[in-house]
């Protein structure tokens, strides 16, 4: 899951964290899993010297982003995050790291899942600090059985 935040100085930070699996058998389990994820993101932010209370959520994407840059073994600590809001509206976005406008929209057209999210123009691009979990899985690891 990817969460893009901004602060009052118009700085941006992208948090990349794996959302824990849960059976979905009870609302309590879902709530507990969501809280656990929220705590993980807050910890990532604090460890990188960001105060979560000063940040505003720009948007969130669940699932694969456009391109593979966020799954590289050495994700950069900074980069340009390009994002478009989904048809469902904020806070739902589709994003990519260090992709051109053409690469972004081509990636959407070439991926049925991303296309199904219904990203809409305009595409926004912002410089951001990129934070990832220590144990961030590579995309190829996620695709294997």
Confidence of residue 13 (pLDDT cuts 50, 70, 90): very high
For the purposes of burial, counting CB atoms within 10 Å of the CB of 67, is it exposed (0-12), middle (13-18) or buried (19 or more)?
buried
What is the tally of structural domains in the chain? 1
The sign of the dihedral angle between the CA atoms of 88, 40, 79, 66 is negative
**What is the pLDDT at residue 104?**
97
Q: What is the mean pLDDT of residues 54-75?
A: 84
- Tokens standing for 63? 């699932």
- Ranking 2-16, 75-89, 130-144 by mean pLDDT, the lowest is 130-144
| Residue-number span of the structural domain to which 72 is assigned | 2-143
Contact 65, 59 (CB under 8 A): no
pLDDT tens readout for residues 35-50: 888 888 899 899 989 9
Q: Read off the pTM.
A: 0.83
Question: For the residues 101-128, what does the mean pLDDT come to?
Answer: 95
């Amino acid at each position: 899951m990817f969460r893009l935040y901004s602060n009052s100085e118009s700085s941006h930070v992208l948090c990349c964290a794996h959302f824990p699996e849960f059976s979905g058998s009870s609302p309590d389990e879902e709530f507990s899993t969501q809280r656990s994820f929220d705590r993980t993101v807050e910890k990532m932010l604090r460890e990188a010297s960001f105060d979560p209370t000063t940040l505003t959520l720009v948007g969130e994407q669940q699932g694969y982003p456009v391109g593979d840059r966020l799954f590289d073994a050495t994700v950069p600590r900074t980069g340009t995050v390009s994002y478009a809001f989904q048809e469902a509206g904020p806070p739902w976005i589709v994003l990519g790291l260090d992709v051109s406008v053409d690469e972004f929209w081509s990636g959407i057209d070439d991926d049925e899942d991303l296309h199904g999210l219904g990203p809409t123009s305009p595409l926004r691009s912002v410089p951001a600090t990129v934070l990832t979990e220590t144990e961030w899985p590579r995309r190829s690891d996620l695709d294997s059985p």
